[in-house]
Amino acid sequence: MSDTRHTKLLIIGSGPAGYTAGVYGSRAMLEPILVQGIEPGGQLTTTTEVENWPGDTEVQGPDLMLRMEAHAKAVGTEIIGDIITDLDLSKRPFTAIGDSGTTYTADAVILATGARAKWLGLETEEKFKGFGVSACATCDGFFYKGQEIVVIGGGNTAVEEALFLTNFASKVTLIHRRDELRAEKILIDRLMKNDKIEPLWFHELIEVTGTDMPLGVEGIKVENTKTGEITEMTCKGVFVAIGHSPANELVIDQLETHMGGYVVTNPDSTATSIPGVFAAGDLTDHLYRQAVTSAGMGCMAALEAERFIAEQE
Ligand code: FAD
Ligand code: NAP
């Protein structure tokens, strides 16, 4: 049954930015509604140890996100398991349509839809997705006990995924298109010390090979970025970890974006080009993309939304 809900503040997204906005928005007595989306808790639910969240030397990503959810709920955020499929920012109150059939109207909106894993765009990557090709080691690593696996990428995610996969795999090859990693020094150090991991520099994945019946990966073809030489390797799993792009589908035609789709906000602010619409976290951040910076922006967005709503009243 479809219904309409009005709120002063609608928060779209349940990562660190969304939940922090919920905490601050609730404490400002805005009684926010937070719509969680397809991934309640956001990207940190796809990882294991988080070691740079201040106050916790080490915390499991999914646990941290459950704590943030509980905190937002405890102070008054109404948390709804729905996905926004359409958002109209052309007039106030703003209107969002949920997959559930609910229509949400709001005086102010905080966009905290974060980012999603990028793919290489290969036909064979698509073919074997879910059958040997994955972008989430935490979700799928367990299926590769005693097998040989490759990880593609050279950032924090790729290095963390490679390290995590050594818990299951007999060997992990980290394939990177250069010979320099973007990852934090501490992670690179762990990677280099791990006997099960072998880096393959200056190579790019060009094809995933395998069987059709049953569908499954048996190997890959990689190309040397310097010589163009193509080599075949055997492996049972391919983990693609080449970065994330902003989840901007709801607003791409309505808000200004830059640097590959990140929503533009005013300097030192989360205000977007539409008054009353604020953006926080990985959706707007092409530079830092950390849990703590996302949470910080969630706080800013809620404080700015509070000010905006007060001015309207
Ligand atoms: P996200 O966490 O991306 O959450 C986005 C939210 O928006 C999700 O809940 C999603 O369901 C929701 N959403 C999207 N579209 C819709 C829609 N249409 N309707 C409703 N909701 C929607 N950072 C660190 O600081 N430390 C780490 O150790 C660390 N480890 C990481 C490990 C991995 C594997 C990955 C992928 C990232 C890691 N990061 C880490 C980065 C960190 O996870 C992100 O910077 C952070 O989660 C961004 O938070 P966010 O709130 O902007 O969005
Ligand atoms: P990233 O930092 O953007 O790194 C992406 C990597 O993939 C780069 O090494 C890049 O190569 C490579 N790459 C990109 N496109 C490619 C292609 N088409 N073919 C082959 N290789 C390709 O992304 P990320 O590692 O997912 O990290 C995203 C953000 O989350 C970062 O800000 C990161 O700090 C954060 N994060 C933090 C932690 C942590 O704090 N522990 C953990 C995970 C993620 P080049 O280097 O050549 O460009």
Which of 210, 240, 270 is the endpoint of a domain?
Answer: 240
Question: Nearest Cα to 100, choosing from 14, 1, 18, 32?
Answer: 1
User: Buried b vs exposed e over 201-219: b needs ≥16 C-beta within 10 Å?
Assistant: bebebeebebeeeeeebeb
- Supply 198's token pair: 């072998």
> Final residue of a domain: which of 220, 240, 260?
240
Confidence at residue 1, expressed as pLDDT on a 0 to 100 scale: 53
Question: Among this protein's residues, is 140 annotated catalytic?
Answer: yes
CATH code of the domain covering residue 298: 3.50.50.60
pTM: 0.91
> How far is ligand 1, taken at its centre, from the CA of residue 210, in Å?
32
User: Hey, CA dihedral for 71, 75, 80, 85, is it positive or negative?
Assistant: negative
Verify that 40 and 185 share a domain, yes or no.
no
User: Has 299 been annotated as catalytic?
Assistant: no
198-203 own/partner pairs: CB under 8 Å, 24+ apart: 198/171, 198/172, 198/173, 198/174, 199/173, 199/174, 199/175, 200/173, 200/174, 200/175, 200/176, 201/176, 202/176, 202/177, 202/178, 202/226, 203/175, 203/176, 203/177, 203/231
Nearest CA to ligand 2 atom 24: 243
- Residue 74 CB neighbours (<10 A): 10
Q: Whose CA is nearest to atom 15 of ligand 1?
A: 113
* β 244-246/115-117 pair status: antiparallel
What ligand is nearest to the CA atom of residue 181? 2
- Do 77 and 226 have their domain in common? no
- Stated as kind and residue range, the H or E segment containing 108 is strand 103-111
CB 192 within 8 A of CB 179: no
Residues 124 and 234 in one domain: yes
> Are 10 and 154 contained in the same domain?
no
Same domain, 232 and 203: yes
How many folded domains does the chain comprise? Answer: 2
pLDDT for 47 equals: 87
Query: Which atom, in ligand 2's list, is nearest to the CA of 51?
Result: 41
Q: Is 190 in the same domain as 287?
A: no
Residue from 3, 86, 88, 139 carrying the catalytic annotation: 139
* pLDDT in 10s for each residue of the chain, 313 residues: 569 999 999 999 999 999 999 999 999 999 999 999 999 999 999 888 899 999 999 999 999 999 999 999 999 999 999 999 999 999 999 999 999 999 999 999 999 999 999 999 999 999 999 899 999 998 889 999 999 999 999 999 999 999 999 999 999 999 999 999 999 999 999 999 999 999 999 999 999 999 999 999 999 999 999 999 999 999 999 999 999 999 999 999 999 999 999 999 999 999 999 999 999 999 999 989 999 999 999 999 999 999 999 999 8
Is 139 noted as a catalytic residue in this protein? yes
235 and 250 assigned to the same domain: no
Range of the domain at 292: 4-116+245-312
Both 128 and 219 in a single domain? yes
Same domain, 136 and 56: no
Based on the fold, state whether residues 126 and 220 are members of the same structural domain: yes
Residue 313: CB atoms within 10 A of its CB come to 7
Ligand 2 pocket (Cβ < 6 Å) reads 52, 120, 152-158, 160, 177-178, 182, 204, 241-244, 289-290
Query: CB of 44 within 8 A of CB of 64?
Result: yes
Domain boundary among 240, 265, 299: 240
The reply to whether 65 and 207 lie within a common domain is no
Report yes or no: 2 and 101 within 8 Å, Cβ to Cβ: yes
**128 and 225 share one domain:** yes
